Chain A
Amino acid sequence: DAGVIQSPRHEVTEMGQEVTLRCKPISGHNSLFWYRQTMMRGLELLIYFNNNVPIDDSGMPEDRFSAKMPNASFSTLKIQPSEPRDSAVYFCASSLERSNTGELFFGEGSRLTVL
């Protein structure tokens, strides 16, 4: 089975540009999470969806960040305009909430560098 698929794996862009990160969760999983990881702040939750509905977006840094999940198999995280402090690895993860095991399956991450 395919795991969580993220794209792009690497993105280098200039300050002020729009960045869109994409995620395909594991088929059948009903929860999807976006995390950001930096050396300074570790792994931070940005937003999570359950059954395609945003449940908690309190971790979204500011209005420049937005996330959507139009269907069960696709989600996007958009940054507009991007800033150098947004440079990080962005992970998407999915889980089957009914299992309540707390096991998140992570994608390989999207490494974003904003110059």
Chain B
Amino acid sequence: QKEVEQNSGPLSVPEGAIASLNCTYSDRGSQSFFWYRQYSGKSPELIMSIYSNGDKEDGRFTAQLNKASQYVSLLIRDSQPSDSATYLCAVVRDTGRRALTFGSGTRLQVQP
């Protein structure tokens, strides 16, 4: 079992729709959770972080965390073609290991 699992996609949504991206992780001791966006040929950039159960909203983005289910999601409202990218879920496994472990990413395509 991979430490961080994501559906590779592509996830295709029409412009203006809500895109829902999901991620599960295996280590119950994971402390912190992140969503990075990576455009084709570019490097990853952080878009959201979440540390406690529940929802966290930032503009059109909402991150959701459920530690009991070991599940993290990212919702993108009013999706735009410029949101088309690969979205990487990342976790910090425990306080002793600060490095992020990344999922393989979900490719999102927003159709104009």
Main secondary structure of the interface of B (DSSP, over half): strand
Q: How far is the CB of B16 from chain A (nearest CB, A)?
A: 29
- B46, B103, B105: the one contacting A103 at CB < 8 Å is B46
Nearest opposing residue in chain B for A45, CB measure: B99
- B45, B92, B103: the one contacting A106 at CB < 8 Å is B45
Main secondary structure of the interface of A (DSSP, over half): strand
- Chain B residue contacts of A44, Cβ below 8 A: 102
Range of interface residues on A (Cβ < 8 Å): 20 to 34
- Chain A residue contacts of B32, Cβ below 8 A: 100, 102
Q: How far is the CB of A9 from chain B (nearest CB, A)?
A: 11
Q: Across the interface, do A56 and B103 meet the contact criterion of CB distance under 8 Å? A: no
- Chain B residue contacts of A42, Cβ below 8 A: 88, 102-105
Residues 87-115 of A contacting B (Cβ, < 8 Å): 91, 97, 100-104, 106-109
- Chain A residue contacts of B90, Cβ below 8 A: 102
- Chain B residue contacts of A45, Cβ below 8 A: 99-102
Q: How far is the CB of B26 from chain A (nearest CB, A)?
A: 15
**A106 CA to B34 CA in the complex, in Å?**
15
Pairs A-B, 8 closest by C-beta atoms = A42-B104, A106-B43, A43-B102, A103-B46, A48-B99, A102-B34, A45-B99, A102-B32
